[in-house]
Amino acid sequence: NIPTGTRKVNLTSWHHDKGQANLSNMTFSDGKLIVNQDGFYYLYANICFRHHETSGNLTKRGLQLMVYMTKTNLKIRRSEVLMKGGSTKYWSGNSEFHFYSVNIGGFLKLKTGDMISIQVSNPLLLDSSQEATYFGAFKVRDLD
Amino acid sequence: NIPTGTRKVNLTSWHHDKGQANLSNMTFSDGKLIVNQDGFYYLYANICFRHHETSGNLTKRGLQLMVYMTKTNLKIRRSEVLMKGGSTKYWSGNSEFHFYSVNIGGFLKLKTGDMISIQVSNPLLLDSSQEATYFGAFKVRDLD
Amino acid sequence: NIPTGTRKVNLTSWHHDKGQANLSNMTFSDGKLIVNQDGFYYLYANICFRHHETSGNLTKRGLQLMVYMTKTNLKIRRSEVLMKGGSTKYWSGNSEFHFYSVNIGGFLKLKTGDMISIQVSNPLLLDSSQEATYFGAFKVRDLD
Amino acid sequence: PEFALPQVLGSALSLQSTLPCESEQHYEYSGRCCKKCEPGKYMSAKCTETSDSVCQPCGPNEYMDVWNEEDKCLLHKICDQGKALKEVNPGNSTFQRQCACTTGYHWNEDCDCCQRNTICAPGFGIGHPVQQDKDTRCMPCPRGYFSEVASSTDECKSWTNNMLMVLSFLHLTGTNKILYVLI
């Protein structure tokens, strides 16, 4: 179930064990990946937005299609955006179908208990197929 | 040799040992990377599309510039798209040069014998220099 | 301090130890990441460009927003572009704010002494917040 | 007389026992001073205590233009027609391929692309020398010359040529007035 509107929203309904999704050595709860071991992780997300003219007229309107990856640290009750990406779009009225994908990735230090989540703008435009919209993390090595 | 047309095509003519390309612990055949060891791999691709006005008039036409990374599993004779990215484009007629790059990446479970390949739309628009269009994979760790 | 103009410029003023930035087993000097151990590394960069109408009229002009990751090898006194990404843009005049992000990444062989640096076009349009514009590398394994 | 070595503050002088190895054609490895590979080749194996470096020729579409210890040659660039580039020198195993933009365009480092040459407005003509792959330089037409077109290739034309044209035009139209010809 995808939230409506163009506002920035938290995506919570991810498959974590179906299809290509995998989960090990991390916990998944309420749309958040929770870190179980301190370390340096590579975090990434790929988000696809799409619109077909049959879903209504979106053209001639400025859109900003964005993804944000956020870390929440419960100890200091703080959330900060780790990475962001996206594009403003001004889709022309001539085509019946519009598509845009954004990819973000980075190598970051995470601590046990850190929670990683994804926010997007315009959730109604999300292409929610598993090859289009996904995110993840893998541990590269321990902290120094 | 780059296939013609705007249809989705399989890219087979990759350098795998010249310039910045490297191959170890995987096999490369007919444009496909073949997995030799079960494990979790990080897969990625970067594709650049370009068009110069001297190559003809492409503007005022909707384009969809896409990359698909596909896994073929011979045991179950099945291919599935692992990741996709790209954008619809409506290139304006004013500029003499147009350029667009898409990057995709993800951490996935692969088994011995799995074959990874790349498909793109509009192959004639590919920027085939080594720093522009490439793909690859590296093993992060064994399966659980 | 961000260089001016639309020319392709070298970005040198990166934080390497503040906020989310980390540095270990590599050296950072004059905007370049210097390799201390031969190996296979995953290199990545995320660059965000933005423009607000209050900063002047950029629309109706073709822009090319690009990132280049370059390796400098002092032994053979050679610099070569490892990866590039970006897009030509023709921002419409209707929106007050424009945004575009590009992400590049790849798995490459690096030798001790190799220096990695980032060049961008249109540096004045850079969104220099830490979650928007960053680059990095991590060693995946030793050479064969 | 005893020569006193000059006292150098903060550093000690040591007599150099062996000639420096690191040079354009040599490198130091496993305690030996070994020969690098010449241009056109790469190093498939470094030297050991008992054997010299092993060098192999670059393969097709590769080059190496310096003495080196690289384990691979460099890949020639592509003169991409789709970017309006053409090959001006194919290069070889020791010299990098050279590309240039097709006529009417020049290479712009900032966009890594072939940009249209500047069009000189009327009253301006292209300056010399006209260089391949370089943008047009527009020069104001000096006295005695003119240009009535916007062009990225035309020079300023001298009046004299055109005065004759005007005369012949008037002659054809039967006008009896004789213009005073400026030579």
Q: Each residue of C72-82: pLDDT tens digit?
A: 998 888 999 99
Point out the residue among A131, A136, A138 whose CB comes nearest to the CB of B81. Answer: A131
* Residue D8: pLDDT over 60: no
Q: Which positions in chain D touch B18 (Cβ < 8 Å)?
A: 59, 61-62, 72-73, 75
Between chain B and chain D, the number of residue pairs with CB atoms below 8 A apart is 54
Q: Are B100 and B87 in contact (CB under 8 A)?
A: yes
Structural contact between residues B100 and B44, judged by C-beta atoms closer than 8 angstroms? no
Low-confidence winner among C8-12, C47-51, C117-121, D41-45 (lowest mean pLDDT): C8-12
Q: How many angstroms separate the CA of residue B121 from the nearest CA in chain A?
A: 13
Please state, as a whole number, how many other Cβ atoms lie within 10 Å of the Cβ of residue B111: 13
Q: What is the mean pLDDT of residues B55-83?
A: 90
- Could you report the per-residue pLDDT of D38-69, keeping only the tens digit for each? 999 999 999 999 999 999 999 999 999 999 99
Give B12-67 pLDDT, tens digit per residue.
Answer: 999 888 898 988 889 999 999 999 999 999 999 999 999 999 998 876 678 999 99
Tell me if chain A has a CB within 8 Å of the CB of C136.
Answer: yes
Residues of chain B neighbouring C42 (CB-CB closer than 8 A): 42, 138
> Which positions in chain B touch C86 (Cβ < 8 Å)?
99, 101
CA C111 centroid distance within chain:
20
Q: Rounded to two decimals, what is the model's pTM?
A: 0.88
Q: From D39, which residue of chain C is nearest by alpha-carbon distance?
A: C76
CB-nearest to D59 from B18, B97, B130 is B18
CA distance A25 to chain B (A): 10
Average pLDDT over residues C42-69: 89
Question: Do the two chains B and A touch, given a threshold of 8 Å on CB pairs and at least 3 pairs?
Answer: yes
Beta bridge partners of D74: D63
Residue numbers in B near A63 (CB within 8 A): none
- Residue D131, token pair as written in the block: 């260089």
Q: Which of B86, B103, B106 sits opposite A134 (nearest CB)?
A: B106
Query: How many CA atoms are closer than 13 Å to the CA of B19, on its beta-carbon side?
Result: 21
Segment A19-43 mean pLDDT:
92
Chains D and A touch (3+ CB pairs under 8 A): no
Of C48, C103, C140, Cβ closest to residue A105: C103
Q: Does A105 touch chain B (CB under 8 A)?
A: yes
Contact A95 B62 (CB under 8 A): yes
List of chain C residues whose C-beta atoms are within 8 Å of the C-beta of residue D74: 78, 80
pLDDT at D166: 54
Q: Which residues contact A97 (CB under 8 A, 6 or more apart)?
A: A50, A51, A52, A53, B64, B88
Which range has the worst mean pLDDT, A4-13, A99-108, C114-123?
A: A4-13
User: What is the pLDDT averaged over residues D72-86?
Assistant: 95
pLDDT at C138: 96
**C119 interface with D at CB cutoff 8 Å:** no
Name the closest residue on chain C to residue D66, using Cα atoms.
C76
Instruction: Collapse the DSSP code of C124 into the 3-class scheme (helix H, G, I; strand E, B; otherwise coil) and give the result.
Output: helix
- Quote the DSSP letter at residue D83: G
Identify the pLDDT of residue A121.
Answer: 95
Encoded tokens for A125: 């435009």
Q: In the structure, what pLDDT confidence band is assigned to residue D177 with cuts at 50, 70 and 90?
A: very low
- How far CA B47 is from CA of A42, C75, C106, C138, in Å, comes to 21, 30, 12, 22
Q: Which chains touch A (3 or more CB pairs under 8 A)?
A: B, C
Average pLDDT rounded to a whole number, residues A99-128: 96
**pLDDT score recorded for residue C28:** 95
Residue B142 has pLDDT above 80, yes or no: yes
Neighbouring CB atoms inside 10 A of D161's CB total 9
